[in-house]
C-alpha cells in the first residue's frame, strides 16, 4: 500500500490553470487587436486632435505604465473565467459594438470595444488580474470620448450658469454687458460660451490627472481618491468662470481678434495650471484629515 504525503495530495487535488498560449487564446488576442485598433485609430484622429480629447494620449501612456507597474513582480492566479459569465457579456458588448460601428456612433463604439476587451481578458485570465488592475482599467476609460448626450446634458447648465454669473459680476462692476443663454454681449462684441469654456474639458482632464496623481501619492486610499476626484468638479468650474471673465474683458478692451487668438489658448492653459495647483493644495489640506480619520477608525 502506497502512502502519499499531504503536500503531494494537495498538489494532485489542486486545479491547475490551462496553458495560456493555446491556438484558441491566440485567436482571441488577434480578434481583440482587430476589434480595438480601428476604433482607437478613429478616436485618435477624430478626438485626440481636438481640445476636448487632447488628454487622451497622455492618459493612454500613463495608464499603460500603471498596468505594467501593477503587474510587475505580481504573482496572480491566472485561470480562464467562467463561461456562464463571459459568454453572455461578450455577446452583449460585441452586439452593441457592431450596432454603434454601423451607425457611426463613435462614443458608444469606443466603450463597447473597451468592455469587450475587459470581458475577453476575463475569459483568458479570470477575475484575479482584473481585481489587481481595477484602477488602470477605470483610468484608461478616459482615453475614450464621452457620449454626446452626456456632453450636452452636462455642459448646457454649466454654460448657462457661467454665462449668467459672469454677466452679473461684470454688470455689477459697471460694464455694458448682457447675456442671452450662452451668448454674452459686451459693448459692440458678442461672445459664445462654448463647451471648452464651460468646464467639461477641464472636468474630464482634471479628473483623469487627479486620479493619476492620487494613485501615485495615495495608491490604495479610496477615500482620498474620491475626495480629490469630487474636488476636481468645482475647481474646474471656478477656473473656467475666471477664464470667461478674463476673455470677456480682453475682448472689451482689446477686441475680438486678440481674445480669440493666442490669448484664448494661453488663458485656458493658465487657468488649467491654476486649477491643477488648487487640486494639489486641496490634497495637502485634506490628506491629514483623511489619513487621521482612517487611522482613528482602524
- Catalytically active residues, by annotation: 197, 243
Per-residue cell: 185 = 454681449
b/e map 214-227, b = 16+ CB within 10 Å: bbeebeebeebbeb
Q: How far apart are CA 96 and CA 109, in angstroms?
A: 7
Helix-helix angle 148-172:222-254, to 10 degrees? 50
The answer for 255, left when phi > 0, alpha when psi is -120 to 50, beta otherwise, is left
Contact 132, 76 (CB under 8 A): yes
210: nearest Cα among 138, 130, 134: 138
Query: How far, CA to CA in Å, does 93 sit from each of 97, 123, 200?
Result: 6, 14, 27
Q: Where are the alpha helices (DSSP H) in the chain?
A: 6-13, 23-46, 56-71, 83-103, 106-125, 127-132, 134-140, 148-172, 200-218, 222-254, 256-259, 262-297
R_g over Cα of the chain:
25
Per-residue cell: 78 = 491566472
62: nearest Cα among 211, 168, 173, 201: 211
Query: How far, CA to CA in Å, does 101 sit from each of 2, 15, 36, 42, 169?
Result: 63, 40, 12, 11, 46
Query: How far, CA to CA in Å, does 35 sit from each of 116, 179, 272?
Result: 9, 47, 35
Amino acid at each position: 500500500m502506497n502512502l502519499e504525503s499531504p503536500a503531494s495530495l494537495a498538489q494532485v487535488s489542486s486545479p491547475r490553470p490551462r496553458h495560456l498560449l493555446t491556438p484558441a487564446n491566440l485567436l482571441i488576442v488577434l480578434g481583440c487587436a482587430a476589434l480595438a485598433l480601428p476604433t482607437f485609430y478613429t478616436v485618435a484622429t477624430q478626438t485626440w486632435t481636438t481640445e476636448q480629447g487632447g488628454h487622451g494620449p497622455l492618459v493612454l501612456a500613463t495608464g499603460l505604465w500603471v498596468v505594467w507597474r501593477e503587474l510587475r513582480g505580481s504573482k496572480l492566479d491566472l485561470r480562464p473565467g467562467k463561461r456562464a459569465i463571459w459568454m453572455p457579456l461578450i455577446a452583449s458588448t460585441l452586439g452593441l459594438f457592431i450596432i454603434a460601428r454601423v451607425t457611426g456612433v463613435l462614443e458608444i463604439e469606443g466603450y463597447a470595444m473597451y468592455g469587450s476587451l475587459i470581458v475577453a481578458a476575463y475569459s483568458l485570465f479570470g477575475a484575479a488580474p482584473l481585481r489587481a488592475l481595477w484602477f488602470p482599467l477605470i483610468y484608461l476609460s478616459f482615453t475614450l470620448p464621452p457620449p454626446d448626450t452626456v456632453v450636452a446634458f452636462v455642459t448646457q447648465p454649466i454654460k448657462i450658469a457661467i454665462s449668467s454669473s459672469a454677466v452679473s459680476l461684470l454688470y455689477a462692476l459697471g460694464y455694458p454687458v448682457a447675456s442671452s443663454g450662452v451668448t454674452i454681449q459686451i459693448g459692440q462684441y458678442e461672445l459664445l460660451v462654448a463647451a471648452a469654456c464651460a468646464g467639461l474639458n477641464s472636468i474630464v482632464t482634471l479628473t483623469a490627472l487627479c486620479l493619476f496623481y492620487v494613485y501615485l501619492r495615495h495608491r490604495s486610499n479610496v477615500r482620498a481618491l474620491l475626495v480629490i476626484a469630487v474636488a476636481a468638479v468645482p475647481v474646474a468650474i471656478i477656473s473656467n468662470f475666471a477664464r470667461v471673465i478674463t476673455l470677456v474683458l480682453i475682448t472689451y478692451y482689446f477686441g475680438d481678434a486678440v481674445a480669440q487668438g493666442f490669448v484664448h489658448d494661453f488663458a485656458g492653459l493658465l487657468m488649467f495650471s491654476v486649477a491643477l495647483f488648487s487640486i494639489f493644495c486641496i490634497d495637502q489640506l485634506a490628506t491629514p484629515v483623511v489619513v487621521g480619520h482612517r487611522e482613528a477608525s482602524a
